[in-house]
């Protein structure tokens, strides 16, 4: 497995990481713990060293899966987790109580994550969503203290806007920004990616396969259960899926020429954008994990990339990526 450094930091990880959320949360009921433990360990055997979780996934049960599964190989892996949602009170639906990045809450969240992850240090700690009630300087300062105490190694942000990134970075260097980025969500290219390049911050794209759509395994007839998060997303209505099929057709065409799969082309495209981009596709299946990891061996030439850009620019992607309330939490 090839490796990459996240920005100018010394944090070196596998060129493709593994997003663990779907093992416990968002895409139907939680999967079998033994099966997912075996998958996590199979990922390590295949060279994956970068694993992504969060306290809100479940809540808590994803960290409770990832920690024990990776404990025997802890020295070989980088574990990223996130704070920032208020998970107190009787309604434990993720984010039901809103955001909370007050410094004292961050410290409590980290103690909980350390226990669940069976570790004494978090390699990369992200603020999950920017809290408009707490100045980002206070958030960065709290993480800086945790780094000084040896409980955290690196600071990250998720779905933050340019000004927030700059202000946070001035207090405590930001190692990575996690944001959605893929062939069908390219908004970060306008302002965010140039800012990351200037400051030497890595980019960790989540949903790099468009929540499964860019694999070519979905169409307007795909039925999503009520316990599948995608059933609430405007981009996954039958009308939007039908309209957006043109993006999959483009990936299919390139994949056929490269003897690859649409998912591998979508990931190879991301890897070709910048040397400090590390996508974290999620999966619950070993054959999909192996398919995704195969993307590191797909070579896209400058001509291929130009052709993809030109074709993609002609496609008007339909449907917002989040309902209004959740979209309002991004880009702050």
φ/ψ of 202, rounded to 5, equals -75, 160
d(CA 162, CA 57): 26
pLDDT (tens digit per residue) in 30-46: 999 999 999 999 999 99
Among 57, 126, 181, 206, the one annotated catalytic: 57
- pTM (two decimals): 0.97
Sign of the alpha-carbon torsion through 180, 184, 190, 195: positive
Query: What's the rounded mean pLDDT across residues 241-266?
Result: 97
**202 within 8 A of 177, measured Cβ to Cβ:** yes
Query: pLDDT-based confidence at 88, cuts 50/70/90?
Result: confident
**19 within 8 A of 206, measured Cβ to Cβ:** yes
pLDDT (tens digit per residue) in 182-224: 999 999 999 999 999 999 999 999 999 999 999 999 999 999 9
Q: 270-279: b or e for each residue (b if 16 or more CB lie within 10 Å)?
A: bbbbeebbbb
For residue 57, indicate whether it is catalytic: yes
φ/ψ of 163, rounded to 5, equals -65, -40
Which class is domain 3-327?
A: alpha beta
- pLDDT surpasses 60 at 95: no
d(CA 63, CA 81): 8
């Amino acid at each position: 497995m090839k490796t990459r450094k996240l920005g100018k930091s010394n944090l070196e990880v596998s060129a493709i990481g593994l997003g663990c959320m779907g093992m416990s949360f968002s895409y139907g009921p939680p999967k079998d713990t033994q099966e997912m433990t075996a998958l996590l360990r199979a990922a390590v055997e295949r060279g994956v060293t970068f694993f992504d979780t969060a306290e809100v996934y479940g809540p808590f049960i994803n960290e409770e899966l990832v920690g024990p599964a990776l404990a025997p190989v802890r020295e070989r892996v980088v574990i990223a987790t996130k704070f920032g949602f208020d998970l107190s009170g009787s309604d434990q639906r993720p984010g039901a109580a809103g955001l909370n990045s007050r410094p004292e809450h961050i410290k409590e969240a980290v103690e909980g994550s350390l226990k669940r992850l069976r570790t004494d240090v978090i390699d990369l700690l992200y603020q999950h969503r920017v809290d408009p009630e707490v100045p980002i300087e206070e958030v960065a300062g709290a993480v800086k203290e945790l780094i000084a105490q040896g409980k955290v190694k690196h600071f990250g942000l998720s779905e933050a806007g340019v000004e927030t990134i700059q202000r946070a970075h001035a207090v405590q260097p930001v190692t990575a920004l996690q944001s959605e980025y893929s062939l069908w969500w390219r908004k970060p290219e306008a302002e965010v990616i140039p800012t990351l390049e200037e400051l030497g911050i890595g980019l960790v794209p989540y949903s790099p396969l468009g929540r499964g759509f860019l694999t070519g395994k979905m169409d307007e007839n795909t039925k999503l259960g009520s316990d599948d998060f995608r059933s609430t997303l405007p981009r996954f209505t039958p009308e939007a899926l039908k309209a957006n099929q043109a993006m999959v057709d483009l990936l299919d065409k390139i994949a056929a020429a490269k003897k690859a799969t649409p998912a591998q082309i979508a990931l190879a495209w991301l890897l070709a954008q910048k040397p400090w981009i590390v996508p974290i596709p999620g999966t619950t299946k070993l054959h999909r994990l192996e398919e995704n990891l195969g993307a590191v061996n797909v070579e896209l030439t400058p001509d291929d990339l130009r052709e993809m850009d030109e074709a993609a620019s002609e496609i008007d992607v339909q449907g917002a990526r989040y309902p209004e309330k959740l979209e309002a939490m991004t880009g702050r």
